[in-house]
Amino acid sequence: MNLIVAVDEQWGIGKEGELLRRISTDMKRFRGITSGNVLILGRKTLESFPNKKPLPNREHVVLTNNLEYKAEGVTLCHSIAELPHVLEGFGDKEVFVAGGGSVYQQLLPFCEKAYITKIHATFPADTYFPDLDQLPEWEIAEEGEEQEENGVRFSFVLYRKK
Ligand SMILES: NC(=O)c1ccc[n+]([C@@H]2O[C@H](COP(=O)([O-])OP(=O)(O)OC[C@H]3O[C@@H](n4cnc5c(N)ncnc54)[C@H](OP(=O)(O)O)[C@@H]3O)[C@@H](O)[C@H]2O)c1
């Protein structure tokens, strides 16, 4: 499985249940990479989506400990141990870990590639992604040109497990 995330210069990813910045070029890229595939996300990230609904054209596997939890149009999963069994149901679709902080943390060891949007700024944050530059098993495979949207500079960086 792979993961996809937008981080700031401190590897911050969110604050008070929201993204740090909405960058439409990044959203479009997220859609392009993940459409037709499977997302794994935490219950809090699902609830941060517009109307708390899953995104179109993607399967969603949502982690929650709450056995009573109900959400339309998603597949619920109640532990990491249960995840391989749940994913079997999606055949050979690509699987992307899509957050939030707690889910990235737990599933990073199982990921091969990390599609990172690096935002060249620092924002107040309460949720962080592990700093891949400090983890010896990860290396940069591709680094895109810097881009700018509404005064926010960012670049797309692909990390790969060595
Ligand atoms: N920058 C980005 O690319 C990006 C992407 C995604 C999210 N985010 C941000 O990340 C923040 C949310 O992250 P978060 O860490 O607070 O929440 P989260 O990871 O989205 O969701 C946490 C919840 O997932 C469930 N969960 C996690 N691990 C589980 C396990 N092993 N078994 C069963 N359930 C499990 C639990 O739900 P229950 O409480 O229901 O048991 C837990 O409370 C938001 O600010 C969001 O905007 C940023």
- CATH number of the domain encompassing residue 80: 3.40.430.10
Q: Could you tell me if residue 161 is inside a domain?
A: no
Q: Could you tell me if residue 61 is inside a domain?
A: yes
Phi, psi values for residue 74, rounded to 5°: -130, 160
Q: Could you tell me if residue 62 is inside a domain?
A: yes
pTM here? 0.98
Encoding tokens for residue 118?
Answer: 């690096």
Exposed, middle or buried by CB within 10 Å (0-12, 13-18, 19+), for 35? exposed
Q: Could you tell me if residue 152 is inside a domain?
A: no
- Domain residues for 66? 2-142
Q: What's the mean pLDDT in 139-160?
A: 98
Q: Could you tell me if residue 55 is inside a domain?
A: yes
Give the model confidence (pLDDT) of 35-83 as tens digits.
999 999 999 999 999 999 999 999 999 999 999 999 999 999 999 999 9
Ligand 1 pocket, residues with Cβ under 6 angstroms: 5-6, 13-15, 17-19, 41-45, 48, 63-66, 69, 78-80, 98-103, 106, 127
Q: Could you tell me if residue 75 is inside a domain?
A: yes
pLDDT of residue 152: 97
How many domains, the chain?
1
pLDDT of residue 99: 96
- Measured from the CA of 14, which atom of ligand 1 is nearest? 45
Q: Could you tell me if residue 148 is inside a domain?
A: no
